[in-house]
């Protein structure tokens, strides 16, 4: 019997560490001989902590939202007593949602112990690397990747084979293969889950890619805010060295390749290749002019290739199963599967991996379970701060590298922030622009100053001080910032504003001209009052008001003094009779 406890960051945050400790103690007390393992996240973050029990005959029971008390019951009733606990089992609809996915990048996450290389090997690990290095030429490996149609999963969607081939053909005895694990988009955690749940897939992908281009060293640039990912990477690298998969004369050949980790300071701009390289070299993370491209002159002036975590995680599967197998999934020009992080106002937040070409509706409603509290779907932000908002009217858009940009957004690294009818689109644009304004490296005047001016305008609008001409000024600044910025951070920073203006212009106009927030979200634009007919004179709102704006007594009419009201909303929350009105 095997017992798996999901101990990715999401699981631990939900209490998986306590659950694991209880299981360890119970195993010792009861002298249980079953195998207790820590694993990564299976993607169902909303169900954590998750404990899966696999019987010797292969039957599985998955318990969800497990508490420390539940863990003790699981040992007593199931592991010792042999009786399943129905009320703790994963609901059938969630089982179906997981089974409907096609997992390649996430194939081992939540299944193997990420700190034990033998479990990765038992699942076919490093066979693709061995095949590549001992049986295939560099060109043959690159051809497999070309046939697969694999495009970079970090945002731009650039063909992976092309970058590898360019680096291979660049002269130089020393070349570098770099993994960009500097995942900075708000609401994105795909790379973190892979590194925590299956680090060896990334190492093997880098090894295969390194061989194809003739790289001598690999570097994983991972954000320091991912301590668990770094810890498991360090273990994986050391284990791979012990097995001879990294180091000198790999698989008995004359090919040598090793990997090291560089913990980054968490600068969003370091998601841009040249800024990342500058940071690796000890400089401030700032982009450089291209050409020359990194494939020709990158880290320390040597040919360098950079791909992200998910891209590398796909590579071993592609080499093992053939490029045609990967290309058979997905859309015409967007092949294979893609991992998406579902966050925001969605019922089933977490990770999903599906073939490219699924529609937004299928991802959000069929797999993600729809909107929390069954509210109305309003929009989804794709591509993080560099992306844009896609409205309800375009929910049947296929998720491909061609269809999503037509909406004004981008696929990006795979973050999806779902919004309902309580979300103010002006404030959402302000949130993302606030992020990019803070993350600007400051090198380009348009990015450094222009984003600040745009943010000032948006702050004015949500605070009720919008003016005639603000919309036109935002549009003008957006065009100039995009045209005058060196890297993708500045070029795409205005996208959230552009797309919300394109699809939700009426909300900007209401804020500016009518001093009203359509979503009733912007505090400075809200007015609270009490409906005389609905009020039961219970004084709940009066007692909840922190500013003394409500007058009245039991069995007397309650009134809100608008001059004293700070629009905190506590009266609205406290009222049990829908008597507090918000306009």
Write the pLDDT tens digit of every residue in 306-317: 999 999 999 999
The whole domain housing 53 covers 2-99
Task: Label the pairing between strands 559-560 and 550-551.
Answer: antiparallel
CA-CA distances (angstroms) from residue 442 to 285, 339, 449, 483? 10, 32, 8, 16
- Pairwise CA distance, residues 389 & 408, whole Å: 8
Which run of H or E residues covers position 46? none
546-571 mean pLDDT: 89
Q: How confident is the model at residue 58 (pLDDT cuts 50, 70, 90)?
A: confident
pLDDT at 552: 86
Tokens 């001598």 locate to: 216
Shared-domain flag, residues 357 and 453: no
Q: How confident is the model at residue 183 (pLDDT cuts 50, 70, 90)?
A: confident
Full 3-state SS string of 535-579: CCCCCHHHHHCCCCCEECCCCCCCEECCCCCCCCCHHHHHCCCCC
Shared-domain flag, residues 497 and 385: no
Q: How confident is the model at residue 517 (pLDDT cuts 50, 70, 90)?
A: very high
- Contact indicator for 514, 480 with CB cutoff of 8 Å: no
Name the pTM for this structure. 0.92
Shared-domain flag, residues 505 and 450: yes
Question: Which DSSP letter does residue 348 get?
Answer: S
Shared-domain flag, residues 313 and 223: yes
Q: How confident is the model at residue 372 (pLDDT cuts 50, 70, 90)?
A: very high
Q: Is the model's pLDDT at 290 over the cut of 80?
A: yes
Tokens of 512: 């500016």
Nearest Cα neighbor of 124 from 135, 108, 101, 113 is 108
Shared-domain flag, residues 301 and 343: no
- Pairwise CA distance, residues 489 & 158, whole Å: 17
pLDDT at 403: 94
Q: Give the 3-state secondary structure of residue 528.
A: strand
- Contact indicator for 63, 48 with CB cutoff of 8 Å: no
Q: Which of 397, 420, 443 is the last residue of a domain?
A: 420
Sign of CA dihedral 55, 61, 65, 71: negative
CA-CA distances (angstroms) from residue 44 to 22, 41, 101, 153, 471? 22, 7, 12, 21, 40
Look at residue 461 and tell me if it is in a domain: yes
Look at residue 553 and tell me if it is in a domain: yes
Q: What is the DSSP string of 19-38?
A: HHHHHHHHHHHHT--SEEEE
In this structure, how many other beta carbons lie within 10 angstroms of the beta carbon of residue 48?
Answer: 24
pLDDT at 423: 95
pLDDT at 273: 92
Using CA atoms in the order 189, 54, 74, 32, what is the torsion angle rounded to 10 degrees? -120
Q: Is the model's pLDDT at 536 over the cut of 90?
A: no
Look at residue 486 and tell me if it is in a domain: yes
Q: How confident is the model at residue 375 (pLDDT cuts 50, 70, 90)?
A: very high
Q: Decide which of 15 and 536 is more confident.
A: 15
Shared-domain flag, residues 278 and 162: yes
Shared-domain flag, residues 342 and 404: yes
Q: Give the 3-state secondary structure of residue 262.
A: strand
CA-CA distances (angstroms) from residue 445 to 272, 291, 439, 455, 486? 18, 21, 14, 15, 10
- Pairwise CA distance, residues 353 & 339, whole Å: 4
Q: Is the model's pLDDT at 120 over the cut of 90?
A: yes
Shared-domain flag, residues 389 and 505: no
Residue 222: phi and psi, rounded to 5, are -120, 140
Shared-domain flag, residues 276 and 349: no
Average pLDDT across the chain, whole number: 94
Tokens 């995942």 locate to: 183
Q: What is the DSSP string of 190-245?
A: HHHHHHHH-HHHHHHHHHHHHHHHT-SEEEEEEETT-HHHHHHHHHHHHHHHHHTS
Look at residue 503 and tell me if it is in a domain: yes
Q: Count up the domains in the chain and report the number.
A: 5
Look at residue 25 and tell me if it is in a domain: yes
Give the CATH number for residue 342: 3.10.20.600
């Amino acid at each position: 019997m095997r017992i798996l406890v999901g101990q990715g960051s999401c699981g631990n945050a939900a209490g998986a560490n306590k659950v694991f400790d209880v299981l360890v103690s119970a195993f010792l007390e009861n002298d249980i001989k079953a195998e207790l393992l820590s694993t990564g996240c299976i993607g169902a973050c909303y169900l954590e902590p998750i404990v899966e029990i696999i019987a010797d005959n292969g039957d599985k029971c998955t318990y969800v939202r497990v508490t420390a008390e539940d863990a003790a019951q699981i040992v007593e009733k199931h592991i010792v007593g042999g009786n399943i606990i129905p009320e703790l089992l994963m609901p059938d609809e969630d089982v179906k949602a997981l089974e409907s996915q096609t997992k390649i990048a996430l194939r081992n996450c939540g299944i193997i112990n990420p700190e034990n290389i033998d479990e990765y090997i038992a699942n076919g690990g490093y066979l693709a690397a061995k095949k590549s290095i001992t049986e295939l030429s560099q060109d043959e490996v690159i051809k497999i990747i070309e046939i697969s149609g694999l495009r970079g999963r970090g945002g731009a969607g650039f063909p992976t084979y092309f970058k590898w081939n360019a680096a291979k053909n660049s002269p130089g005895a020393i070349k570098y293969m770099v993994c960009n694990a500097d995942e900075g988009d708000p609401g994105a955690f795909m790379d973190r889950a892979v590194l925590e749940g299956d680090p060896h897939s990334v190492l093997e992908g880098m090894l295969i890619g390194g061989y194809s281009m003739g790289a001598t060293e690999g570097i994983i640039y991972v954000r320091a805010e991912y301590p668990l990912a770094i810890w498991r990477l360090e273990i994986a690298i050391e284990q791979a060295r012990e097995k001879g998969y990294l180091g000198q004369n790999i698989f008995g050949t004359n090919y040598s390749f090793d990997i090291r980790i560089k913990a980054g300071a968490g600068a969003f701009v370091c998601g841009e290749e040249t800024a990342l390289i500058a940071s690796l070299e000890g400089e401030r993370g700032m982009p450089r002019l291209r050409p020359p491209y990194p494939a020709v002159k990158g880290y320390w002036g040597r040919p360098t290739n950079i791909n992200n975590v998910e891209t590398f995680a796909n590579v071993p599967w592609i080499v093992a199963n053939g490029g045609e197998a990967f290309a058979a999934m997905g859309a015409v020009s967007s092949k294979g599967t893609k991992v998406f992080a579902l966050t925001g106002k969605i019922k089933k937040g977490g990770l999903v991996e599906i073939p490219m070409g699924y529609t937004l509706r299928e991802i959000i409603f069929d797999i993600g379970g729809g909107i929390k509290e069954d509210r109305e779907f309003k929009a989804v932000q794709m591509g993080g701060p560099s992306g844009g908002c896609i409205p309800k009217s375009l929910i049947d858009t296929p998720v491909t590298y061609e269809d999503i940009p037509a909406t004004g957004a981008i696929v990006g690294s795979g973050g999806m922030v779902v919004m309902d009818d309580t979300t103010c689109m002006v404030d959402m644009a302000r949130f993302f622009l606030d992020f990019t304004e803070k993350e600007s490296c400051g090198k380009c005047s348009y990015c450094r100053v222009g984003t600040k001016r745009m943010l000032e305008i948006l702050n004015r609008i949500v605070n009720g001080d919008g003016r005639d001409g603000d919309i036109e000024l935002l549009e003008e600044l957006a065009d100039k910032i995009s045209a005058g910025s060196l890297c993708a951070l500045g070029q795409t920073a205005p996208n959230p504003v552009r797309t919300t203006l394109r699809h939700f212009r009426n909300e900007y106009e209401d804020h500016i001209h009518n001093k009203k927030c359509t979503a009733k979200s912007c505090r400075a634009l809200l007015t609270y009052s009490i409906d005389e007919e609905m009020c039961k004179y219970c004084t709940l709102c009066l007692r909840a008001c922190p500013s003394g704006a409500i007058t009245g007594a039991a069995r007397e009419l309650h009134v809100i003094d608008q001059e004293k009201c700070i629009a905190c909303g506590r009266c609205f929350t406290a009222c049990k009779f829908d008597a507090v009105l918000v306009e």
